[in-house]
Amino acid sequence: MKNFSFCNPVKIIFGSDTISQIAQEIPADARILLIYGGGSIKRNGVYDQLAEALKGRTWFEFSGIGANPDYETCLDAIKLIKDERIDFLLAAGGGSVIDATKFIALGYYATGDPWEILSTHASPDKALPFGTILTLPATGSEMNANSVITRKSTQEKLSFNSPLVFPKFSVLDPKTTYTLPARQIANGVVDTFVHTTEQYLTYPAGGALQDYFAESIIKVLLKYGEQALKAPENYDVRANLMWASTWGLNGWIAQGVPEDWATHAIGHELTAFYGLDHAQTLAIVLPGLLEVLIKDKSEKLVQLGERAFNISEGSLEDRALATIQAIDAFFKRIGVNTHLSDYGLGEKAIDRIVERFRERGWILGERQNITPEVVEQILKKRL
Amino acid sequence: MKNFSFCNPVKIIFGSDTISQIAQEIPADARILLIYGGGSIKRNGVYDQLAEALKGRTWFEFSGIGANPDYETCLDAIKLIKDERIDFLLAAGGGSVIDATKFIALGYYATGDPWEILSTHASPDKALPFGTILTLPATGSEMNANSVITRKSTQEKLSFNSPLVFPKFSVLDPKTTYTLPARQIANGVVDTFVHTTEQYLTYPAGGALQDYFAESIIKVLLKYGEQALKAPENYDVRANLMWASTWGLNGWIAQGVPEDWATHAIGHELTAFYGLDHAQTLAIVLPGLLEVLIKDKSEKLVQLGERAFNISEGSLEDRALATIQAIDAFFKRIGVNTHLSDYGLGEKAIDRIVERFRERGWILGERQNITPEVVEQILKKRL
């Protein structure tokens, strides 16, 4: 097992009808900014619950954070915060709203260009405090210190991580997910699945507990992924998916073991250039990456196959391949297509993405052997 | 799944040769008190590593914390803290030293009798900050806010829990466990096992992820428990046991699911009256409790049998019983005896313990159906 040093201080308030509890988590004299997206929280009752919980408080609102939250919108929010002397943020939505809020919380204190938080990882030394109300389980952003921001003008999608942007608290009410479109639920399952494999499908590193935990998350997704689509108001199904998605990226399963993250890096470019849903890009890239790197990852693939997919027949190579096919089949079964052509993309898209990797000089993967040439091989398997 | 609200802010510094990292975790001007036990840290090199890390700092020491740390010794430490104007504590040892340090940290601020922290759960509103260096994996105290203290004069063993006594950091270096006697390693495995079952072997409550996580911890114990005794210097074996013991009681697997804790409550009395090792008491009580409550706990017993012990033949009742037998056999296999008579105890001890439960009016278990009469049935099975 590798050495590590880690702390995750996020307070989780989980369960049915828990939004009302935010009042006791926010200082009484705070000037609060509620940040949200396109208005789904007005349709699903979350906005009303928040308004009720914030009764008597001083609060403002900023809406319009879209999927793949963009830099320019975040700057508008920072301006409002300065104008209104806001000192506490409240993010209500999915990973996009929470990621944007993290960037806003830190960017508020930037003395230079806030973009540098993403481009060079220059960071202010403090951030505005904030809480989150999660309504779309997927990214784990509610319990981590990561954020991914897109700059439309330059078609860049970049991330940062800072312990300053751990939420003070996150409210997870599974009922808020009942009205989500099937596509968003399925995307969330794929996103959580791939977060987990990025921290697990590498090489054996003596982290038995971490392996079992990662497999636990994957087993919950396999057990409840389809059911969540068929029975949207089954509380325990939605609760387990929500909780699993938080654990997929709250940092604990990564401690002491190698990480990959190449699938995300390649996927981000597909979104930046072609606007695919984040999870769609992951569903395309992961099976291809596993196939190209099957030798490097065979021990973990065989282990996952046996423990999560009941694959235990055939040679080790057969089993590794069967595991990759089972992953691909699972994504399709919940309605997320896994090939570039499913989204109208072909060779041209591959060239453009590989070119971006060449320009940036990015080398990826837990063994640092995913060169732009390997990215090309991976994507060619996904035409 | 049940609603919950939880935060675990402990920073974990895990790995080989990590003790040196404490320097950066403690304020430069702190007046530090190093608290430890009977001197094993002087024999295993931990004391020297600490002295090296604290070079140039202002630090004092207090030794002599024994197993089942006692109240009177803690009061002596509080007096030293006041005399020397200590403002940061450093606990180096196992659960006893850490539990004592928690009581000392909180008791320091008690305005009345510090015993009330245990007897009536009256709590000061602050505690001294402290870090821990774990040398005996077992109690999970390094990553929780629990403490158990014994008052010898009245033969009482009581516990408290306060978010004020989460360690600021805990250093877990698996190498510090290499020189532990086999008995302590085995005890730690049993303790971790029973922590996990107290939060798992209840009734199904829709916590699929929590169940898988609990089973993960148990699988690590089953996989590495014996090996740790045979190959004390196998780093990954010791690292996984250490990490599993932390997860057995850091609070996360309990969130959203019912908890039992009757085995601990009964076991504490066995220690308070007869001085048995904590883990020995758990190894005695657990199989008896599961047998008496087999109907209440059958679904979870069958699940554990299938997922951790490969028990999947026979009627559900057979499988539940086979699981209990497998647990009993595992404890014996690692050298922890599971019957009262193994420790020279008999009917008289049972009467005394049942009497204590009657006096206190304690009713235990996740269904609150373990009356003193049921405690008697449980212990009679363990003669």
Q: Give the mean pLDDT per block of 10 residues along chain A (383 residues).
A: 98 98 97 95 96 98 94 97 98 97 98 95 96 97 96 89 98 97 97 98 98 98 97 97 98 98 96 95 98 98 98 97 98 98 98 96 96 98 98
Q: How far is CA B337 from the centre of its chain?
A: 18
Task: Give the start-end residues of each E strand in A152-244.
Answer: 156-161, 169-172
**Comparing C-alpha atoms, which of B217, B248, B218, B221 is closest to residue B237?**
B221
Cβ-based contacts under 8 A for chains A and B: 129
- Residue B191: pLDDT above 90? yes
A155 shares its domain with A289: no
What is the number of other CB atoms lying within 10 angstroms of the CB of residue A103?
Answer: 29
Please give the tally of structural domains in chain B: 2
A228 shares its domain with A211: yes
Kindly state whether residue A348 falls inside one of the protein's structural domains.
Answer: yes
Of A144, A176, A208, at which residue does a domain stop? A176
Q: What is the mean pLDDT of residues B144-173?
A: 94
Write out the residue range of the structural domain in which residue B142 sits. 11-176
Kindly state whether residue B284 falls inside one of the protein's structural domains.
Answer: yes
- The residues with which A58 forms a beta bridge, in sequence order, are A31
Q: What is the mean pLDDT of residues B361-371?
A: 96
Q: What is the DSSP letter of A170?
A: E
Kindly state whether residue A158 falls inside one of the protein's structural domains.
Answer: yes
B135 shares its domain with B236: no
B237 shares its domain with B336: yes
Kindly state whether residue B3 falls inside one of the protein's structural domains.
Answer: no
CA dist B42 and B23 (Å) reads 19
A247–chain B Cβ distance below 8 A for any pair:
yes
CB contact under 8 A, B243 and A1: yes
Nearest Cα of chain B lies from the Cα of A246 at a distance, in angstroms, of: 11
CB contact under 8 A, B208 and A217: no
A196 shares its domain with A158: no
Q: Return the pLDDT at A152.
A: 87
Kindly state whether residue B4 falls inside one of the protein's structural domains.
Answer: no
Identify the band that residue B255 occupies on the pLDDT scale cut at 50, 70 and 90: very high
**The pair of three-digit structure tokens given for residue A148, joined into one six-digit string:** 């991914």
Kindly state whether residue A2 falls inside one of the protein's structural domains.
Answer: no
Contacting residues of A for B223, CB less than 8 Å apart: 208
The residues, ordered by sequence, that sit 6+ positions from A364 with a Cβ below 8 Å of its Cβ are: A260, A261, A262, A265, A266, A370, A375
CB nearest A216 (choices: B4, B212, B244): B212
CB nearest B216 (choices: A6, A174, A212): A212
CA dist A173 and A206 (Å) reads 35
Q: What angle do CA B368, B369, B375 make, to 5 degrees?
A: 115
Q: What angle do CA B327, B332, B338 make, to 5 degrees?
A: 80
CB contact under 8 A, A213 and B213: yes
A16–chain B Cβ distance below 8 A for any pair:
yes
For B200-251, write each residue's pLDDT tens digit. Answer: 999 999 999 999 999 999 999 999 999 999 999 999 999 999 999 999 999 9
A146 shares its domain with A190: no
CA distances from B338 to A17, B222, B297 (A): 45, 17, 20
Q: Return the pLDDT at A39.
A: 85
Kindly state whether residue B24 falls inside one of the protein's structural domains.
Answer: yes
A15–chain B Cβ distance below 8 A for any pair:
yes
CA distances from A45 to A41, A119, A130, A168, A247 (A): 6, 37, 21, 23, 26
B85 shares its domain with B71: yes
Kindly state whether residue A5 falls inside one of the protein's structural domains.
Answer: no
Output the domain CATH number for residue A96: 3.40.50.1970
A204 shares its domain with A304: yes
One-letter amino acid for residue A338 of the chain: T
A30 shares its domain with A171: yes
CB contact under 8 A, A3 and B15: yes
Output the domain CATH number for residue B269: 1.20.1090.10
- The residues with which B169 forms a beta bridge, in sequence order, are B11, B131
Nearest Cα of chain A lies from the Cα of B314 at a distance, in angstroms, of: 22
Residue B11, sorted as left (phi over 0), alpha (psi -120 to 50) or beta, turns out to be: beta
Q: Return the pLDDT at B155.
A: 86
- Residue B4: pLDDT above 90? yes
A196 shares its domain with A325: yes
B367 shares its domain with B251: yes
- Residue whose entry in the numeric block shows the structure tokens 């220690």: B271
Interstrand relation of B11-14 and B169-172 (parallel, antiparallel or unpaired): parallel
pTM beyond cutoff 0.95: yes
B16–chain A Cβ distance below 8 A for any pair:
yes
ipTM surpasses 0.85: yes
B136 shares its domain with B199: no
Burial zone of A28 (CB within 10 Å; 0-12 exposed, 13-18 middle, 19+ buried): exposed
Interstrand relation of A4-6 and B11-14 (parallel, antiparallel or unpaired): antiparallel
Of B176, B202, B233, at which residue does a domain stop? B176
Q: Return the pLDDT at A126.
A: 97
Q: Chain B residue closest to A224 (CA)?
A: B208
Residue A337, sorted as left (phi over 0), alpha (psi -120 to 50) or beta, turns out to be: beta
CA distances from A75 to A78, A80, A109, A132, A270 (A): 5, 9, 12, 19, 24
**The pair of three-digit structure tokens given for residue B25, joined into one six-digit string:** 């975790």
CA dihedral A148, A151, A152, A156 (to 10 degrees): -80
CB nearest B11 (choices: A5, A14, A169): A5
**The pair of three-digit structure tokens given for residue B255, joined into one six-digit string:** 């969130």
- The residues with which A172 forms a beta bridge, in sequence order, are A14, A134
**Comparing C-alpha atoms, which of A41, A48, A76, A50 is closest to residue A62?**
A76
Q: What is the mean pLDDT of residues B323-335?
A: 98
Of B176, B198, B230, at which residue does a domain stop? B176
